[in-house]
Amino acid sequence: MFIDLPSELEASLIDLPLPTWELDGPYLAQSTRDRYRTELAATPRFAETAATLRQALTGEGGGYAVLRLGNLAKALGIGDDRFLRLATAFAIEVAVPFSPFPRWPLWKDIGVKVDKDPWKSSGIGYNAFHMDLVNATLPPDYTTLLCVRTDPLGGGPSILSDSHAAVARLSEKSRALVAESAYHYGTFFDLFGVGEEYKPFPILNGSEPGGGFVRFTAKMLERSQLGQAHADAARELEAELVRGQVSFMLQPGDYLIVNQRRFLHGREALHDGQDTVPVSDRRLLLQLFLRAGADDGSAA
What is the binding site for ligand AKG (CB under 6 A)?
110, 121, 127, 132, 145, 158, 265, 267, 285
How many residues comprise the chain? Answer: 300
| Closest distance of CB 119 from ligand AKG, Å | 11
User: For residue 223, what is the enclosing H or E element?
Assistant: helix 219-223
Indicate which of Fe ion, ligand AKG, none lies near residue 158 (CB less than 5 to 8 Å, by partner kind). ligand AKG
| Residue closer to ligand AKG (CB basis): 50 or 78 | 78
Burial 1-35 (b: 16+ CB within 10 A, else e): bebebeeebbebbeebebeebeeeebbbeeebbeb
Question: Whole-angstrom Cα distance, residue 225 to residue 88?
Answer: 39
| Closest distance of CB 33 from ligand AKG, Å | 24
Question: Whole-angstrom Cα distance, residue 73 to residue 76?
Answer: 5
| Closest distance of CB 182 from Fe ion, Å | 23
Indicate which of ligand AKG, Fe ion, none lies near residue 267 (CB less than 5 to 8 Å, by partner kind). ligand AKG
How many other CB atoms sit within 10 Å of the CB of residue 236?
Answer: 19
Stretch near Fe ion under the rule CB under 5 A, chosen from 16-24, 69-77, 84-92, 124-132 = 124-132
Residues in 125-164 that interact with Fe ion by CB under 5 A: 132
| Residue closer to ligand AKG (CB basis): 50 or 288 | 288
| Residue closer to ligand AKG (CB basis): 50 or 221 | 221
Amino acid occupying residue 8? E
Question: Whole-angstrom Cα distance, residue 85 to residue 95?
Answer: 15
| Closest distance of CB 149 from ligand AKG, Å | 12
| Site of interaction with Fe ion (CB under 5 A) | 132
